[in-house]
Structure 1
Amino acid sequence: MTDTTGLPSPPAPPVHALLADGTTVRVRQAGPGDRAAVLRLYERMSPENLRLRFFSAGSGSGRQAAEHLCAPARPGERALLAEADGEAVGVAEYHADPAVPGRADIALAVADHWHHRGVGTLLLEHLADAARADGLDVFTADALSENYPVLRVFSDLGLPLKRRFDGPEVHVTVGLSQDEHYLSAVESRGRTADVASLGPLLRPRSVAVVGAGRRPGSVGRAILHNVRAGGFTGCVAAVNPHARAIEHVPCHPTVSALPEAPELAVLAVPAAAVPSVADECGRCGVRALLVVTSGLDAGQAAALRAACRRYGMRLVGPNCLGLANTEQGVGLDATFAARVPLPGTAGVATQSGGVGIALLSGLSRLGIGVSSFVSLGDKYDVSGNDLLQWWEGDGRTRLAVLHLESFGNPRAFSRTARRVGRRMPLLTVDAGRSEAGRRAAASHTAAAATPTMTRQALFAQAGIIATRSLGELLDTVALLHSQPLPSGGSVVVVTNAGGAGVLAADACSEAGLDVLPLEPGLTAELTAVLPAGATTGNPVDATAAVSEAELRACLDRLAAHRDVDAVLGVFVPTALAAATGDDLARALTHGPDRAPCTTAAVLLEQPTRVALLAADGGGTVPAYADPQDAARALAHAVAHARWRARPQAEAAELPGIDTDGARADAAAWLAGHPEGGWLDPTACARLLGHYGVPQVAWEWVCDEDAAVAAARRLVGPRGRVVLKAHRPGLVHKTAEGAVRLDLQGEDDVRSAYRDFAARFGAGLSGVVVQPQAPHVLELVAGVVQDEVFGPLVLFGQGGTATEILADHAARLAPLTPGDVDELITAPRCARLLSGGAGGTPVELGALEQLLLRLSRMACDLPQLVEADLNPVVAGPDGVTALDARIRLVPRHVHDPYLRRLR
Structure 2
Amino acid sequence: MLRDGGTAHLRPIRPDDAERLVAFYDRVSDQSKYFRFFTPYPRLSERDVHRFTHVDYDDRVALIALIGEEMIGVVRYDRLPPTKEGERSKTAEVAFLVRDDHQGRGLGSVLLEHIAAAARERGIQRFVAEVLPANRRMIAVFEDAGYRQQREFEDGVVHLEFDLEPTETSVAVMRAREHRAEARSIERLLTPRSVAVIGASRSPHTIGQTLLRNLVQAGFTGRLYAVHPQADEILGVPAYRSVRDIPDPVDLAVIAVPAEAVEQVVAECAAKGVHGLVVVSSGFAETGPEGRRRQVRLVELARANGMRVVGPNSFGIANTDPAVALNATLSPIMPNRGRAGFFSQSGALGIAILAETVRRGLGLSTWVSAGNRADVSGNDLLQYWEDDAATDVVLLYLESIGNPRKFMRLARRVSRRKPVVAVKSGRHTQGVPIGHAAQPVSIPDPAVDDLFRQAGIIRVATIDELFDTAQLLAYQPLPRGDRVAIVGNSDSLGLLAKDACVSAGLRPRDPVDLGPTSTADDFRPALAKLLADPEVDAVITVFIPPLTSPNEEVARALAELAADADKPVLTTFLAYEGLPAQLRRLDAGGVPARGSVPSYPAPENAVRALAHAVRYVQWRDRPAGRLPELAGIAEDRARGLVRNLLAAHPGGVELDQERKEELLACYGIKLWPVVPVRDVESAVAAARELGYPVVLKATAEGMRHRSDLGFVQLDLADEDELRRAYATLEQLLGGDVSAARPVVQRMAAPGVATVIGTVEDPAFGPIVSFGVGGVATELLGDRAYRILPLTDVDAAELIRSVKAAPLLFGHRGAEPVDVAALEEVVLRISRLADDLPEVAELELDPVLVARHGCAVLGARIRLSPPPARVLDEGPRALRSPR
Q: 1-side partners of 2:127 and 2:839: how far apart?
A: 28
What TM-score, normalized by structure 2, do the two folds share?
0.87
Return the offset for 1:310: 2.9
Q: Which residue of 1 aligns with 2:782?
A: 807
CA–CA separation in structure 2 for the residues paired with 1:639 and 1:111: 49
Amino acid at match of 1:339: I
Question: What's 2:567 paired with?
Answer: 597
Work out the CA distance in 2 between the residues paired with 1:771 and 1:786.
Answer: 35
Letter in 1 for 2:64: L
Q: Which amino acid aligns with 1:644?
A: R
Q: Specify the code of the residue in structure 1 equivalent to 2:497.
A: A
- RMSD between aligned residues: 3.7
Q: Deviations over 1:575-630 (max 9, x none)?
A: 2545xx89445443343896522211123x42547747526797311222211101
Are the counterparts in 2 of residues 708 and 750 from structure 1 also a CA contact under 8 Å?
no
Q: Is residue 2:821 matched to residue 1:846?
A: yes
Q: Distance in 2 between matches of 1:169 and 1:643?
A: 52
Q: Following the alignment from structure 1 to structure 2, what is the Cα–Cα distance between the partners of residues 327 and 552?
A: 36
Aligned to 2:646: 670
Cα deviation 1:499-558 (Å, max 9, x = unaligned): 222111000111111125xxxxxxxxxxxxxxxxxxxxx223334454433432232222
Task: Indicate if the aligned counterparts of 1:106 and 1:140 stay in contact, CA closer than 8 A.
Answer: yes
Q: 1:435/1:52 Cα in 2 relative to 1: closer, same or farther (>3 Å)?
A: closer
In the aligned structure 2, how far is the partner of 1:74 from the partner of 1:701? 56
Amino acid at match of 2:770: F
Q: Does 1:288 align with 2:276?
A: yes
Q: Is the 8 A contact 1:782 1:795 kept in 2?
A: yes
**Post-superposition offset of 1:269:** 1.3
Secondary structure of the corresponding residue to residue 356 of structure 2 = helix
**For residues 299 and 697 of structure 1, do their structure 2 counterparts lie closer, same or farther at Cα, with a shift above 3 Å needed?**
closer
Give 1:633's aligned residue: 609
Cα offset, 1:308, TM superposition? 0.9
CA deviations on 1:728-770 (whole Å, 9 max, x unpaired) are: xx999779x99865577475799999x9999989xx9x99642
Q: Does 2:578 match 1:606?
A: no
| Bigger mean CA offset, 892-901 vs 386-395 | 892-901
Look up the equivalent residue of 1:614 and give its one-letter code: L
- Pairs within 5 Å for 1:654-665: 654-665=630-641
Matched, 1:31 2:14: yes
Secondary structure, in 3 states, of the residue corresponding to 1:792? strand
Given the alignment of the two structures, is residue 229 of structure 1 paired with residue 217 of structure 2, yes or no? yes
Residue 317 (structure 2) pairs with residue 323 (structure 1) = yes
Q: Would you say the 8 A contact 1:496–1:546 is kept in 2? A: yes
- Contact 2:447 2:784 survives alignment (8 Å): no
Deviates more, 1:461-470 or 1:491-500: 491-500
Q: Give the structure-1-normalised TM-score.
A: 0.85
Q: Matched residues, percent identical?
A: 39
Aligned 8 A contact 1:592 1:616 in 2: no
CA gap 1:802/1:706 in 2 versus in 1, 3 angstroms: same
Q: Call closer, same or farther: CA 1:315–1:77 in 2, change over 3 Å.
A: same
Q: Return closer, same or farther for 1:543/1:322 CA change in 2, 3 Å cut-off.
A: same
Indicate whether 1:459 and 2:435 are aligned. Answer: no
Report the secondary structure of 1:575's partner residue.
coil
| Compared CA separation, residues 36 and 707, structure 1 to 2 (3 A) | farther
Query: Does the CA-based 8 Å contact 1:94-1:104 persist in structure 2?
Result: no
Alignment of 1:76-115 (within 5 A): 78-94=61-77, 103-113=90-100, 114-115=102-103
- Is the contact made by 1:227 and 1:332 (CA closer than 8 Å) also made in structure 2? yes
Per the TM alignment, residue 459 of structure 1 is displaced from its structure 2 partner at its CA by: 1.9
In the alignment, which residue of structure 2 is the partner of 1:158?
A: 146
- 1:20 deviation in Å? 1.3
CA spacing shift, 1:198–1:498, aligned 2, 3 Å: closer
State the secondary structure of the residue aligned to 2:598.
strand
Matches within 5 A, 1:551-562: 551-562=523-534
Moved more, 768-777 or 415-424: 768-777
Please give the residue correspondences for 1:794-833 in structure 2 after superposition, counting only pairs within 5 Å. 794-799=769-774, 803-833=778-808
3-state SS of paired residue (1:480): helix
Distance 1:127 1:62, change over 3 A: farther
Look up the match of 2:499.
506
Amino acid at match of 1:88: M
Cα displacement string for residues 625-655 of structure 1 (whole angstroms, at most 9, x for unaligned residues):
2111011111011111122222233322223
Amino acid at match of 2:98: A
Write the letter of the residue equivalent to 1:511.
A
- In structure 1, the residue matched to 2:592 is none
- Relative to 1, partners in 2 of residues 1:586 and 1:832: Cα closer, same or farther, differing over 3 Å? farther
Counterpart code for 1:463: G
SS of alignment partner, residue 353 of structure 1: coil
CA separation of 1:547/1:23 partners in 2, compared to 1, >3 Å: closer, same or farther? closer
Kindly indicate whether the alpha-carbon contact (under 8 Å) linking 1:479 and 1:622 is maintained by their aligned counterparts in 2: yes
Name the residue aligned to 2:467. Answer: 474
**Gapped regions of structure 1 (runs ≥ 5):** 1-17, 439-446, 517-537
- How far apart, CA to CA, are the structure 2 residues paired with 1:592 and 1:750? 73
Task: Give the conservation status (yes or no) of the 8 Å contact 1:92–1:106.
Answer: no
The 8 Å contact of residues 437 and 451 in structure 1, kept in 2 or not, is answered as no
Q: How does 1:695-844 map to 2 (within 5 A)?
A: 695-698=671-674, 708-716=684-692, 719-722=694-697, 724=699, 741-742=713-714, 745=719, 769-773=744-748, 776-799=751-774, 803-837=778-812, 839-844=814-819
Aligned-residue offset at 1:813:
0.7
CA distance 1:590–1:654, shift in 2 (3 Å): farther
Task: Give the count of matched residue pairs.
Answer: 844
* Residue matched to 1:4: none
1:432 CA drift (Å): 1.8
Note if contact 1:508-1:514 (Cα within 8 Å) is conserved in structure 2: yes
Q: How many Å separate the matches in 2 of 1:795 and 1:294?
A: 44
Assess if the C-alpha contact under 8 Å between 1:591 and 1:616 holds in 2: no
**CA 62–420 in structure 1, closer or farther in 2 if over 3 Å, else same:** farther
The equivalences for 1:476-555 within 5 A come to 476-516=469-509, 538-544=510-516, 546-555=518-527
Shift of 1:563: 1.6
Task: Give the corresponding residue for 1:524.
Answer: none
SS at 1:491's partner residue? strand
Seen in structure 2, the aligned counterparts of structure 1 residues 102 and 344 have a Cα distance that, compared at 3 Å, is: farther
Find the partner of 1:900 among 870, 877, 880. Answer: 877
Residue 374 in structure 1 maps to residue 357 in structure 2: no
Relative to structure 1, is the Cα distance of residues 872 and 62 closer, same or farther in structure 2, using a 3 angstrom cutoff? Answer: farther
What's the CA shift string for 1:75-132, capped at 9, x where partnerless? 5554322222323333334456766779341412123413332222102212233344
Cα pair 2:704 2:712 within 8 Å, conserved: no
Secondary structure (helix, strand or coil) at the match of 1:589 reads: helix
> In the alignment, is the contact (CA less than 8 A) between 2:680 and 2:723 conserved in 1?
no
Is the contact between residue 62 and residue 76 of structure 2 (CA under 8 Å) also seen in structure 1?
Answer: yes
Alignment match of 2:668 (pick from 677, 682, 692): 692
Q: CA deviation at 1:73?
A: 3.3
Aligned in 2, Cα 1:63/1:678: closer, same or farther, shift over 3 Å? farther
